[in-house]
Amino acid sequence: MRKISIQQLLDSDKRPKLEHQNEYLLHLYNNNYSDETVYNYNRDITFFAEYLVESKTSFEKVNKLVVTFFKGWLKERKHIAIKDLKLKGLKDKEHEESDGNTVRLGKTGSKTNDTDKKVREPLVITQNKGFVKNNNPEVLDALSVNRILVSLRNYLRFLVEYDYPAPLAPDAVQLVRVAKKKLQVPTLDEVVALVEAPTTYETDPVIGLRNRAALELLLATGMRISEVVSINRDQVNSDGKLFITGKGKKQRFVYLTHRATAHIQEYLQKRVDPYPALFLPKSGSRLKSSDPRISTNYLQMKIALYRRLLEIIVPMSAHTIRHAYATYLAENGANPAAIQVLLGHESLQTTTRYVHTSDKFAEETHNEFHPVKEQ
């Protein structure tokens, strides 16, 4: 995937920018936000800048009603025309600033100097699409709309914190209502069958061992799929304790089961290469890089394939396994605070969203504790 430097984000004058947007990005970067977070926040608030240009609304005139219209603009996917800020704008025609429109184009605030460039150049930001898929391609998912609104809130908080004029209080940006859906949790038997599927369905024994080990690691630790593919061989030892750096550069310990350790060791015994990655591609262009490793897309594709082959009705992904991991721990009496630490969540509230009582557990609870069971 193509990478974008912080300097390209700051210097591009082909997209509209909000007041002090460059300073906001530097604020995030210098406060150790991850590269992806900086990119995503920049992309999201640029959607708002694009809306202000399109609606001929000056930044100083932003109010709750403007935000409401912005929500509708997002919901109708009008922002898709921006092409997700793939820097295609570097070749596009410049937007012209409307009369009375205070939305800045390109650099805003103080000019960057050579010293700033030397500090900022190490940051690279990987592009991604960032849009949540849903069953209606004409309407943007409510969760995606809320993600963009949260980015706008954070930007307004930055303005307040740095004593810049803010046209609207951050808390005045209200999130849209998200319809509650019935969340399906696969049974433990279904998850175990999926994890064991590579042994049955992969014709290449090494690929079977590798994919089985990767899925065993997912189930044993509840790690994010990005964390799994980032693990190196030297992080795995006989005591089954891994020290990893996860989302937002937060570090934590995760713990392997004996079963997962055995499958990882079985796979590593087949490896004769010098590469550091725990999970190595068997062939393809990725082997030409200096640090080859399997991709998250590959692993997700394999999980979807195994689910179809096993005829499991419940939709499953690597994130489903992470949710199931938390659910099974909770159903067996695990302390919520401990689950929070294991998942690497900053807030216990986030952890509670991951724990969904399985239908089987609910049924067993009903059968055991209902007060009127006999005829």
Q: Is residue 227 part of a domain?
A: yes
**pLDDT band, residue 130 (cuts 50/70/90):** very low
Q: Where would I find the H helices in 123-177?
A: 142-161
Is residue 167 domain-shared with residue 201, that is, in the same domain?
no
Q: What pLDDT score does 153 carry?
A: 96
Is residue 131 domain-shared with residue 223, that is, in the same domain?
no
Q: What pLDDT score does 298 carry?
A: 93
Higher-pLDDT residue of 152, 251: 152
pLDDT beyond 90 at 67: yes
Cα separation values, 92 from 18, 95, 98, 153, Å: 19, 9, 18, 29
**pLDDT band, residue 138 (cuts 50/70/90):** low
CATH of the domain at 361: 1.10.443.10
State the total domains in the chain: 2
Residue 47, token pair as written in the block: 């959607």
Q: What pLDDT score does 249 carry?
A: 79
What is the rounded average pLDDT of the residues 276-286? 86
Is residue 52 domain-shared with residue 13, that is, in the same domain?
yes
pLDDT beyond 70 at 40: yes
Q: What pLDDT score does 159 carry?
A: 96
Least confident segment among 31-35, 192-196, 301-305: 31-35
Q: Is residue 178 part of a domain?
A: no
Among left, alpha and beta (phi > 0; psi -120 to 50; other), residue 328 is alpha
pLDDT beyond 50 at 160: yes
Is residue 146 domain-shared with residue 249, that is, in the same domain?
no
Which SS3 state, helix, strand or coil, does residue 124 take? strand
Global pTM? 0.64
Q: What pLDDT score does 85 carry?
A: 43
Is residue 162 domain-shared with residue 67, that is, in the same domain?
yes
Residue after which a domain boundary falls, among 120, 146, 172: 172
Q: Is residue 374 part of a domain?
A: no
For residues 79 and 83, give the distance between their C-alpha atoms in angstroms, rounded to a whole number.
8
Q: Is residue 375 part of a domain?
A: no
Least confident segment among 151-165, 174-188, 198-212, 287-301: 174-188
Cβ atoms < 10 Å from Cβ of 61: 14
- Answer whether 125's CB lies under 8 Å from 3's CB: yes
Range of the domain at 331: 188-366
Is residue 210 domain-shared with residue 159, that is, in the same domain?
no
First to last CA, the chain: 65
What is the rounded average pLDDT of the residues 124-131? 40
For residues 25 and 6, give the distance between their C-alpha atoms in angstroms, rounded to a whole number.
8
Q: Is residue 372 part of a domain?
A: no
Residue 101, token pair as written in the block: 């429109």
Is residue 33 domain-shared with residue 9, that is, in the same domain?
yes
Residue after which a domain boundary falls, among 172, 198, 227: 172
Residue after which a domain boundary falls, among 172, 196, 223: 172
Is residue 234 domain-shared with residue 330, that is, in the same domain?
yes
Residues with catalytic roles: 224, 247, 319, 322, 345, 354
Is residue 78 domain-shared with residue 223, that is, in the same domain?
no
Q: Residue 186: enclosing H or E segment and its boundaries?
A: none
For residues 76 and 128, give the distance between their C-alpha atoms in angstroms, rounded to a whole number.
21
Q: Residue 215: enclosing H or E segment and its boundaries?
A: helix 205-221
